[in-house]
Structure 1
Amino acid sequence: MKIELAESYGFCFGVKRAIKIAEENRNSSTYGPLIHNANEIDRLKNDFNVALSENLDSFRAGETAVIRTHGIPKQELSLLHERHVNVVDATCPYVTKPQQICEEMSAQGYDIVIFGDETHPEIKGVKSYANDHVYVVNSPDEINALRLRDKVATVAQTTRKIEEYQQIVGKLMATHKEVRVFNTICNATFDNQDAVRTLAQKADVMIVIGGKNSSNTKQLHSISQEFCPESYHIESQDDLKAEWFENKNFCGISAGASTPDWIIDDVVAKIKTLTNS
Structure 2
Amino acid sequence: MKIELASSYGFCYGVKRAIRIAEEHPGSHTYGPLIHNKDEIARLKETYDIGLVEDFEEAEKVDSIVIRTHGIPKNELKKLKAEGKEVINATCPYVTTPQQIVEQMSKEGYSIVVFGDRNHPEIRGVVSYADDPRDAFVVLEESELEELPLKSKVAIVAQTTRKPADFLKIVNALVLRCKEVRVFNTICNATFENQDAAAELAKRADVMIVIGGKHSSNTKQLHSICKNYCDASYLVENEKELDPAWFEGKKLCGISAGASTPDWIVQNVIDRIESLTR
Q: TM-score range by the shorter chain?
A: over 0.9
Q: State the partner residue of 2:91.
A: 91
- Cα displacement (A) at 1:144: 1.1
* Residues 29, 62 of structure 2: 8 Å contact kept: no
Of 190, 198, 201, which residue of structure 2 is paired with 1:199?
201
Q: For 1:246 and 1:101, locate their aligned partners in 2 and report how far apart those are by CA, in whole Å.
A: 50
SS in 2 for 1:153: strand
For residues 47-100 of structure 1, the C-alpha deviation after alignment (integer angstroms, 9 at most, x for no partner) is: 000100113233458811000000000011011011110100000000000000
Q: State the partner residue of 1:109.
A: 109
SS in 2 for 1:117: coil
Q: For 1:147 and 1:202, locate their aligned partners in 2 and report how far apart those are by CA, in whole Å.
A: 46
Q: State the partner residue of 2:150.
A: 148
Q: State the partner residue of 1:57.
A: 57
Of 156, 175, 178, which residue of structure 1 is paired with 2:177?
175
Of 231, 247, 250, which residue of structure 1 is paired with 2:252?
250
Of 204, 228, 231, which residue of structure 2 is paired with 1:229?
231
TM-score (norm 1): 0.98
For residues 17-55 of structure 1, the C-alpha deviation after alignment (integer angstroms, 9 at most, x for no partner) is: 000000000010001100000000000000000100113
Say whether residues 1:240 and 2:237 are aligned partners. Answer: no
Structure 1 segments unaligned to the other structure (5+ residues): none
Q: For 2:219 and 2:175, locate their aligned partners in 1 and report how far apart those are by CA, in whole Å.
A: 30
Say whether residues 1:3 and 2:3 are aligned partners. Answer: yes
Q: State the partner residue of 1:261.
A: 263
For residues 136-162 of structure 1, the C-alpha deviation after alignment (integer angstroms, 9 at most, x for no partner) is: 001111111212110100000000000
Aligned pair in 2 of structure 1 residues 217, 61: CA closer, same or farther (>3 Å)?
A: closer
Q: For 1:157 and 1:18, locate their aligned partners in 2 and report how far apart those are by CA, in whole Å.
A: 18
Q: For 1:55 and 1:211, locate their aligned partners in 2 and report how far apart those are by CA, in whole Å.
A: 20
Say whether residues 1:70 and 2:70 are aligned partners. Answer: yes
For residues 111-155 of structure 1, the C-alpha deviation after alignment (integer angstroms, 9 at most, x for no partner) is: 000000000000000000012200000111111121211010000
Of 203, 206, 210, which residue of structure 2 is paired with 1:208?
210
Aligned sequence identity (%): 60
Q: For 2:195 and 2:147, locate their aligned partners in 1 and report how far apart those are by CA, in whole Å.
A: 31
Runs of 4+ in 1 over 3 A off after TM superposition: 59-62
SS in 2 for 1:145: coil
Q: For residues 132-147 of structure 1, what are the structure 2 equivalents within 5 Å?
A: 132=132, 133-147=135-149
* Residues 61, 84 of structure 1: 8 Å contact kept: no
| Alignment: residue pair count | 276
* Residues 61, 83 of structure 1: 8 Å contact kept: no
- Cα displacement (A) at 1:246: 0.9
* Residues 225, 231 of structure 1: 8 Å contact kept: yes
Q: For 2:33 and 2:78, locate their aligned partners in 1 and report how far apart those are by CA, in whole Å.
A: 19
Q: State the partner residue of 1:188.
A: 190
Q: State the partner residue of 2:24.
A: 24
